[in-house]
Every structure is written in C-alpha cells, then in structure tokens.
Amino acid sequence: MEFGDIRGWIEHLRREGELREVNAQVHWDCELGTIVRRVFGNGDGPALLFNRITGYTEGRCTRFFTGGLSNYSRVAMMFGLPKNASITELVQAARRAYSGRVPPVVVPTGPVKENILKGDDIDLFEFPVPRWHRHDGGRYINTMQGTVTRDPTSGRLNVGLYRGMIGKKDTIPVLLWRPQDWGRDFRKYTDKGEEMPVAFVYGWEPCLPFCASSPIPSDVSEYDVMGALRGAPVEVVRCETVPLVVPASAEMVIEGFISPDPATFELEGPFGEYTGYFGGDRRPRHKVRVTCISHRDNPIFRGTLEGTMPKMLNENSIMSSVQRAALAWNILDRSGVPGVTDVHCPAANNGTTLIIQLRQTYRGQAKQAACAIWGSNAAHVRYKHIWVVDDDIDIHDYGALDWAFAYRVNAAEDDIVFFPGTFGSALDPSTRLKFRDGDLYGTGKWCRVLIDATVNLDFEPEADYNGDRYPRSVKPEKEDWDLVERRWHEYGF
C-alpha cells in the first residue's frame, strides 16, 4: 500500500473513520500525553490529530499526529488487508514483507526540502514535542521517528527507532546501546576516530516506524523492507550536512553527529518505557549535535506514547505483537523447526512473551523451538518467556493457555526449563538494578524460561486411553456438535 506520505495516510484514516481531530487547545506538558493514554485504551481507540497545542497555535509547526498504528485495524490497512483481518493474517503479511527487498531510489529533491535551517536558526523547541509523563526526564522528541545511520564498512543504511529527548535548542541526548544496529555502526566510527552522522525522520508513511522498530537482520536495510511492504521503492533525497538519505516527502528531518567523547555527553532519562515502568536513570549519555533541520511547509509532527500496562496499550505494543511474532516465525522456519502452525506475542508485553503453536512429531520439539529463538539476534530485548502448545490450543485465548498450563505442564517432567545468565533488556525492572547497566555490560541480564505445555511424548501410550498418551478430552464428538449446530435456532437461541 502506497500512501505517498503521512498526509496521505491521515486522509486514508479519515475516510475510514479511524481518525479523531482534537480542536480544543491542549497543553504539551502531560495533558496531551494523558489524553493519548486514555484514548489508546485497550487498543481500540482512534488515531489522533491535535490541531491546537498551547504555545504552538501559530509558528513553525502547529499540528501533532499520533496513534496511526495503535490498533490492529490500522496495521491491517497499512498492509492493504481488510480492517477485520486476524492477527495471524497480519503476522503472515509481516513475514512476507520481511522476506522482500525493494531498494530505495534517490530523487533530486522533495517537499522535505521546503525549509532548511542551519546554525542559529536551529531551535528544537519550535516544535510541539510533548512531555509525555510527569516523571520523564524531558520532552522526548524521538518516539516514533526513523533513525538513519550507515555502516561505514559495508555502506548498509540502518533505519531504527531509538529514544531521544530535547537537551538544548540544538542537542538531542539519546540512549545508545552497543548491541543495537546503530550501536554497532557507532563503534565502527569510534574505531576510526570519527563522529557518527545520523538523521532522524519524522512523519512519513506508516511503514517507516513499523519497519524501523522491527528487528530486521543487521545486514539488511530497512529501506529495502519498506519498499517490499508498500510495493514500491522509497523515494529518498540526500541530506544537507550528513552523508545519508531520507524520504523525500517526510514532514521533518533532523541531521547531526554523535561524538564518543564523554566530555560531550548530556543528561538523559528517565523515560516511561515500553515495560510500563520508567527506565534508564538520569545520567550523562551520548548526544546528537544538530547541524540541520529541514521540513515541509506547515509540518505535522509525529510522535507516540510509550509505556504499556494491562488495558493501557499503545502503538509499540500493537506493532510489537505483529512484528515479533512474524520475526520469530521466520527464525523457526530458517532453523528447520517443523510443524509450526501459529505464533503470537500478546500486545500487553511487547514481545517479551512468545507463544508458539505446533504440531508435534517428535519429543524435544518445543525445546528445539525455544533454542532457535533464544540463539537469534532478534532475542536481544524480547522473547524472555516462551510458551509452546499443541495445535489444539488457541494461542490468542489466555483461557486456553491457562488450561494447557494447568493440565499439560509438569515441572518434574522438565516442562519448565530455565536458561539463566543470557543477554536481555536493560530496561526490565525484574532484573537487579546493578545488572541493568548497559554502559558497563552492553546489555541487561535475563534468566529465560520455556513453558512446554505440549502433550509429553515421553509418556507411554496407554491401553486405558485407547492407545493415546493422554485421555480423551470432553469436547463433544463431531456428529453431536454438528447436530446441535443445525438445530441451534430450534432450541430458542
């Protein structure tokens, strides 16, 4: 699906009844974030376009858009699927996109070049960036952007999604982790004694933040995957002050450089993170020295609310539910794990828990699946807990999972397996604080867990069970079920 830019996406949402415009004046300091929290709700609220923000009712930028991917119906539309497509259909669409490659094409210019600011004209406070939560360390400008870097060795362009807040009028302190793609790029520039060029892209088609927040293989450019998802190459233009390319019809681009010198660091954090807790204490961290801002006339700023809790979902949680399941399914296929029939990540935990449904053909199949996932780079900050169930269990139904846990899990039969001391999220509050120091360790520390809720094939077939390993379930026989289905209305229902 091609929408052209974020304006085309907004118009599409308006026609589909998926957009709510807020014309009342709203303050950027916590009021906007609280409205968004309530509207996002349990993943069933509309996208939001704020048209009157306190302090920004006139000037360089007056509008703020969020929620474009905060429910499954809009993710479906991004893929060109019906709004009522199932989560499994969305996962399959993401799997196809992740496997495709359509490289970008460079064009001479585009709308993002309508205004170019350098030197003293740079002022990040001219844009309506919210303070999302009362205890955030500042106004987080980088929440739904594409962060563009280049591998100085291979030339591969990376487009990631990493947090950053406004420091001074021309600086953005960021959370830069070594295991992330831009962290590996940064290390290569540091080894060469150079600053790393970076560009942040705000407001384009929905495939940009979706792909930027996906764990794409490190040697693949997200631009190529965006092209595959939308069915056409991304048209990009060259930046003004850094050797990078960005979508020509983006709303805004910020260019700059990151130095490895601790003397240049600025305070960053904490931030209301995807875990539902504030993460990353306030400390000096790498900053982006902004060298240029380019933007369209009357730009629409794009951001989003982080932090997921029960009945408080958001764009990240909905996207992660699809992304992480699709990537995990592809990993299982590439690793040769047979019999996988469905994969799901519940939205509330942003891919920290993975559920795999498979048709067992040999014992140890569930453990093979978990090993394949945990051994992949995609497991860096996700897939802490893995459930594996048989194909008669609906993995989208917590009640079905609980039933399988109750009657197919026996810890004494090795159905619960611990994998301690592995890499993990440095933002997970269940890890002791001293082991969450990403600057010291490069990553967090997890003890991962497999819950094997499949029928145990080590059990002997029993005569009492008609040669099966488990007794029959109480589900009615097909002939009885079909009879009742045919006569259902006769019964008065």
Is residue 106 classed exposed, middle or buried when 0-12, 13-18 and 19+ CB atoms within 10 A define those classes? Answer: exposed
Residue 121 — very low, low, confident or very high, per pLDDT cuts 50/70/90? very high
- Over 90: is that where the pLDDT of 428 sits? no
Q: How confident is the model at residue 387 (pLDDT cuts 50, 70, 90)?
A: very high
Using CA atoms, how far apart are residues 86 and 232, in angstroms rounded to an integer? Answer: 25
Q: Supply the pLDDT for residue 464.
A: 76
Estimate the crossing angle of helix 315-334 against helix 87-99, to 10 degrees.
60
Structure tokens at 278: 């504030």
Rounded CA separation 140/250 (Å): 19
When pLDDT is cut at 50, 70 and 90, the band that residue 458 belongs to is confident
**Quick one: pLDDT at residue 180?**
87
pLDDT at 170 over 90: yes
Q: What does the DSSP assignment read for 92-157?
A: HHHHHHHH-----EE-S--GGGSEEE-GGG--GGGS---B-STT-SS-EEESS-EEEEE-TTT--E
The answer to whether 433 and 169 are in contact (CB under 8 A) is no
Model pLDDT, residue 441: 78
DSSP one-letter string for 343-373: EE--GGGTTSEEEEEE--SSTTHHHHHHHHH
Looking at residue 33, its pLDDT comes to 94
Give me the pLDDT at residue 431, please.
86
Q: Which two tokens stand for residue 491?
A: 């019964």
pTM of the full predicted structure? Answer: 0.92
The answer to whether 269 touches 222, Cβ cutoff 8 Å, is: no
Lowest mean pLDDT among 116-120, 395-399, 426-430, 483-487: 426-430
**442 confidence band (pLDDT: 50, 70, 90):** confident
Which CATH number is associated with domain 71-302? 2.30.110.10
Confidence of residue 287 (pLDDT cuts 50, 70, 90): very high
Length of the chain in terms of residues written: 493
Higher-scoring residue by pLDDT: 179, 352: 352
Question: Which residue type is seen at 7?
Answer: R
What's the confidence (pLDDT) of residue 3?
94
Is residue 399 helix, strand or coil? helix
pLDDT at res. 350: 87
How confident is the model at residue 67, as a pLDDT?
Answer: 96
Peptide bond into 108 cis (omega under 30): no
433 Cβ partners below 8 Å, 6+ apart? Answer: none
Delimit the domains of the chain by residue range.
71-302, 315-453
What is the predicted pLDDT for the residue at 396?
Answer: 95
Q: What integer best gives the mean pLDDT of the chain?
A: 94
Return the pLDDT at 460: 83
Q: State the pLDDT at residue 255.
A: 98
For 198-246, what is each residue's pLDDT tens digit? Answer: 999 999 999 999 999 998 888 999 999 999 999 999 999 999 999 999 9
Confidence of residue 311 (pLDDT cuts 50, 70, 90): confident
Q: Say if residues 222 and 214 touch (Cβ distance below 8 Å).
A: yes
Residue among 209, 200, 217 nearest 288 (CA): 200
Q: Return the percentage of the chain with pLDDT > 90, whole number.
A: 83
pLDDT at 1: 75
Q: What is the pLDDT of residues 296-309, one digit of tens each?
A: 999 999 999 998 88
pLDDT for res 298: 97
pLDDT at position 2: 84
Residue-wise pLDDT for 6-43, tens only, equals: 999 999 999 999 999 999 999 999 999 999 999 998 88
Pick 315-453's CATH classification: 3.40.50.720, 3.10.20.30, 3.40.1670.10, 3.30.70.3190: 3.40.1670.10
